[in-house]
A and B are shown apart, each in its own frame.
Chain A
Amino acid sequence: GQNIDQPTEMTATEGAIVQINCTYQTSGFNGLFWYQQHAGEAPTFLSYNVLDGLEEKGRFSSFLSRSKGYSYLLLKELQMKDSASYLCAVYGSGNTGKLIFGQGTTLQVKP
């Protein structure tokens, strides 16, 4: 079957660093996405990993280990506006473009 796990909720302090983990078990793997979604808005693309290692984009970094079925999203220098849901999504087998989403992690940044 297909399974993507993320923590349901996390809380962190403004200015700190937070790591949101995602583990997956899917039939095939063609890449992993991270999205940010503020309440009442559409998901916003953050990152795409297909090879092992760390991808850095400003305050956000995403890591992938295909052998472990594991990814994390690292947010540095947290700001209040980073309070949102963070969705991990995987491309399964084939080149269908279909994304399988985890349930999302709701991050609350406190002052």
Chain B
Amino acid sequence: SAVISQKPSRDICQRGTSLTIQCQVDSQVTMMFWYRQQPGQSLTLIATANQGSEATYESGFVIDKFPISRPNLTFSTLTVSNMSPEDSSIYLCSSLHTVSGREQFFGPGTRLTVL
């Protein structure tokens, strides 16, 4: 299985500020994703982080609010911009591995609270 780390693990932020979350995978992967999990809810895909090109966003998520970088095959960042209390959530990085079958793993998540 893959090992995925995220930084920070949690943060408390003020309204109107921005936070950048880092995700590191221990092996090169083609596909990386960012998900959000709001309290008591399941996971919702924010975007696919594409290496060397702009991220692909899902309906309801835009680049100005959630800019994403993916400079190489093992690393990605997600920024939550101009935060509001509605952005309080857990943000999870995920990677898809297809070497033996198909497995998709998740990082430990970043628990964000916006005051």
Contact = CB atoms under 8 A, between A and B. Distances in A.
Nearest to A33: B104
Interface stretch (B39-47, B60-68, B81-89): B39-47
Interface residues of B, number: 23
Contacts, number: 50
| B interface majority secondary structure | strand
B101 A98 contact: no
Contacts of A104: 42
B55 interface: no
B3 to A, nearest CB: 12
6 contacts: A42-B92, A45-B104, A89-B43, A96-B48, A103-B42, A104-B42
Interface of B: 1, 31, 33, 41-45, 48, 56, 58, 92, 94, 96, 101-109
Of all A-B residue pairs in the complex, the 5 with the closest CB atoms, nearest first, are A97-B31, A42-B106, A97-B96, A101-B42, A101-B43
